[in-house]
Amino acid sequence: MSQITREQRLLQTFASLADTLVDGYDVVELLQLLVDSCRDLLDTTAAAILLADSTGELDVIVSTSEASRLVELIQIGAEAGPCVESFRTGSVVSVPDIAHSPERWARFRHGAMAQGFSSVHAIPMRLRETRIGTLNLLRDTIGELEPEDQIAAQAFADVATIGILHERSIRESAILTEQLEHALNSRIVIEQAKGVVAHTRGVPIDDAFTLIREYARANRIGISQVAAQLVDRSLKLPEQPE
């Protein structure tokens, strides 16, 4: 991919993110677009976003693969790892070689390496003193993220943060709490829907999510709404042509 083409795609992504930031937008759709863009445009293998609920507990909201989702869940369960550390400190945490990560992150280290990841770059999602989660980039190679990719990833994280922390959300904490809770609840329903589609279609979980997203986009419906209809059996995805 040439540098010009890459820059054009980055600009197109920012434009798409901006178009998403309208009244009634789907938080999960916004964040999924963000992690997919990180995977496709930056030197990273997989990406995921953790968000905190009203009590400060983290959960995986979106990811680009089941492998990256599992690694994030391991960190949450252990309450230790670069992504958890980034959220707690509000600082970027870069681990160029997971094999040499601190012993206190042993569960993360073993889990990440088992899933084929060798390095990670965790970016806090924050606005001033308000921290809401982290954007996490996982790579299957050892080394630091390139400086230009670090800048782009930080910009993506900032866009996502602004998208969630509207000015009205900053002024009215109840709105922020409601929005974050909605995102967390939506993720639970989406995971259930992935299981439904995986079972009924006989496909892997990652493929099931792809089918859900394709249907949502083709019909201009939010992923969360499609997932809810799949779970309550009011919707069945149409069979794909042979």
76 and 185, same domain (yes or no)? no
Q: Give the range of the structural domain holding residue 223, as residue numbers without chain letter.
A: 169-242
Question: What is the number of domains present in the chain?
Answer: 2
Query: Which domain-ending residue is among 165, 184, 218?
Result: 165
Whose structure tokens read 């001033």? 128
The residue from 101, 135, 165 where one domain ends is: 165
Are 211 and 160 in a shared domain?
no
**Same domain as 152, residue 100:** yes
CATH number of the domain encompassing residue 27: 3.30.450.40
Q: Within this chain, do residues 49 and 150 fall inside the same structural domain, yes or no?
A: yes
Does residue 100 sit in the same domain as residue 217?
A: no
What distance in Å separates the CA atoms of residue 49 and residue 68, rounded to the nearest whole number? 10
Looking at the fold, whether 101 and 84 belong to one and the same domain comes out as: yes
CB atoms within 10 A of CB 64: 23
Per-residue pLDDT tens listing for the chain (242 residues): 455 677 777 777 777 776 666 655 677 877 888 888 889 888 899 999 998 887 888 888 889 989 999 999 999 988 899 999 999 999 999 999 999 999 999 999 999 999 999 999 999 998 887 888 999 999 999 999 889 899 988 888 888 887 777 644 545 556 667 767 777 888 888 899 999 899 988 899 999 899 988 898 888 888 888 898 999 888 888 876 55
Is 0.75 topped by the overall pTM?
no
Q: Are residues 117 and 196 in the same domain?
A: no
Say if residue 142 is in the same domain as residue 234.
no
112 and 179 share a domain? no
Q: Which two tokens stand for residue 125?
A: 């999602």
What one-character-per-residue DSSP string does 52-97 give? E-TTS-EEEEEESSHHHHHHHHHHHHHT-SHHHHHHHHTS-EEES-
Q: Are residues 210 and 149 in the same domain?
A: no
Q: Which helix (H) or strand (E) is 133 found in, with range? A: strand 130-139
